[in-house]
A and B are shown apart, each in its own frame.
Chain A
Amino acid sequence: MRRALRYVIFYGLLFGLWALLAELRIWPPYLFPTPWGVGEALRAGFADHSFWIAIVVSMRRMLLGYGISVTLGVALGLGVASSKFLEETVGGLLVSLQSLPSICWWPLALLWFGLSQNAILFVIVMGSMLSVTLAMEDGRKQMPRIFGMAGRNLGAHGFKLFWYVLLPASLPFIVSGLKQGWAFAWRSLIGAEMLYLSLGLGQILMMGRDLNDMNAVIAVMILIVAIGYVTNGVVFRSVERRLQRKWGVAT
């Protein structure tokens, strides 16, 4: 209750400050729009369905790209975990590749796939797959060792030990990786869409720029933040918290 109140006060003040600065007309409205102008742009965007279409197109790419990421990331994670040699060589390479911003894959993707949806998917996969792989690695290392011992003690070994004990034991860590992967995928998607005009949220953001429509630019930015926050901060975070509590690894 008090927390809700704090939120209301904070965002109320922020909004008030924005409205005040905009109404003082220190900067022209085409550079610093009013809240009402942005609100109108949001309404208009949803009313003429252009925002809905952009959301649907972006989310479809997102789910497809993220799905591929998770599949490949998990497979790669299992592969790397399977041998000490692979862990030291491939594992090290993956960590260093992780420092490459995903949009750096865009030129390569363009040459390989042409200006197409596949290029966007490729950038998403390169941006988020490694988070998933590294999270699996992390889960294996951070998982309390007692679970593996208890499992072996009760007669689990080989595949059964992996499937019934080690995998569930590392689930909270894996989910953290899936969450991070989603966040990276989201950024990669929007970045790639801004470079390739093909519907989607990134494109309507760039369209706002091209039309010099600052209201639309801010409106789309708010939309991107809102979707990112709801999927990552609400959906993934609550799953992650629940697992951590139940597994007893919550902080």
Chain B
Amino acid sequence: MPHATPKVGLSDICLSYRTEHGEELLALDHINLQVKAGEFLCIVGPSGCGKSTLLHLIAGLHRQTAGQILVDGKPVQGPGTDRILIFQELGLFPWLTVGENVEFGMKMNGVRKTEREEKTEHYLRLVHLAQFKKSYTHQLSGGMRQRVALARALATEPDVLLMDEPFAALDAQTRDLLHDELERIWAQTGRTIIFVTHNVREAVRLGERVVLLTFRPGRVKREFPVELPHPRMMEDGAVLRAARQILDDLREEINRSLEVEYRVGVKPRVKPEVEQ
């Protein structure tokens, strides 16, 4: 079996954009990254390092300024159901039931009704939500919604699962539970997972490899292989030790980001409330 082509290959990805003041801002600077098929890769970095943006690029929702993204050796041209992104804010459709949310991707891609129903059942069982098929998402807890998003992404049977800080808003117990479930699902389905987080212990807990990005512009600062046996716990001594090592590097970046923000006096960006 040829293993020359990685599942996802990023070569010299650059992204720059113009700020409101008309300045040119470099967000991502020559990112090079190879992800093997079936790998669980975690990307960590301080906020503002462009790690979420990188996932959006791989998902094909935005376009990089320079460089190339290859999936199975083919350049990414736009969104495709071979790569599904789970957004930080989930983006579940409130007008659909849990079952219809999970079914949505298949429906858009012309999968037959009977097959859709079968798979919806299957993936809802996989995330332990089979009995909530007819509920609406606003009736579910945060952890359950997270699992719906996971099932919705898995149901399109993507090769690559892109996860953008999916567990950031959850309480510790729910998050631990979802770590276990994600690990089990990864083992069962053999998907390639690229997981973005700012939590280093979470990255070490889950990933086979952790990539650390620098603060603005985002560059690959270092890669850390994680060779710890599964299953892991976030509280394991070995996990903590590995995390400590990454954290030292990360702290440097966080300090830099704080320095910049204090110097520029960046006001916290507050989204305008929807007027009523």
- Residues of A with Cβ closer than 8 Å to B? 142, 146-147, 149-157, 160, 164-165, 168-169, 171, 245-249, 251
Contacts and interface: CB of A to CB of B under 8 A. Distances in A.
Given A149-B87, A153-B79, A160-B108, 20 more contacts: A146-B87, A147-B91, A149-B91, A150-B87, A150-B93, A151-B108, A152-B79, A153-B84, A153-B91, A154-B108, A154-B156, A155-B80, A155-B81, A155-B108, A155-B156, A164-B104, A165-B93, A169-B93, A246-B94, A246-B95
Contact of B138 (A142, A149, A154, A246): A246
B89 A248 contact: no
Nearest to B80: A155
B85 A153 contact: yes
B93 A153 contact: no
Q: Assign chain B's interface to a size class.
A: 20 to 34
Contacts of B81: 154-155
Contact of B94 (A153, A155, A156, A247): A247
A147 B137 CA distance: 14
Contacts of B90: 146, 150
A244 to B, nearest CB: 9
13 contacts: A142-B274, A147-B91, A149-B61, A151-B108, A152-B79, A153-B84, A154-B105, A155-B81, A155-B105, A157-B79, A160-B108, A171-B95, A248-B94
B141 interface: no
Interface of B: 59, 61, 79-81, 84-85, 87, 89-95, 104-105, 107-109, 136, 138, 152, 156, 274, 276
Report the 4 A-B pairs with minimum CB-CB distance, sorted nearest first: A150-B91, A154-B105, A146-B91, A155-B108
B177 to A, nearest CB: 24
Contacts, number: 64
A249 B108 CA distance: 26
Contacts of A155: 79-81, 105, 108-109, 156
A30 to B, nearest CB: 44
A153 B108 contact: no
Nearest to A142: B274
Chain A interface SS verdict (over half) = helix
Contacts of B108: 151, 154-156, 160, 164
A13 to B, nearest CB: 30
Given A142-B274, A251-B276, A154 B84 contact: yes
B59 A154 contact: no
B143 to A, nearest CB: 17
B109 A153 contact: no
A171 B84 CA distance: 26
Nearest to A150: B91
B79 A147 contact: no
B58 to A, nearest CB: 11
Nearest to A168: B95
B79 A146 contact: no
B274 A154 contact: no
A194 to B, nearest CB: 33
Contact of B61 (A152, A169, A249): A152
A248 B138 CA distance: 8
A53 to B, nearest CB: 39
Contacts of A169: 93, 95
A147 B95 CA distance: 11
B63 to A, nearest CB: 13
B169 to A, nearest CB: 14
Contacts of A156: 104, 108
Given A146-B87, A155-B109, A155-B156, A247 B61 contact: no
Contacts of A153: 59, 61, 79, 84-85, 87, 91
A248 B145 CA distance: 13
Nearest to A245: B138
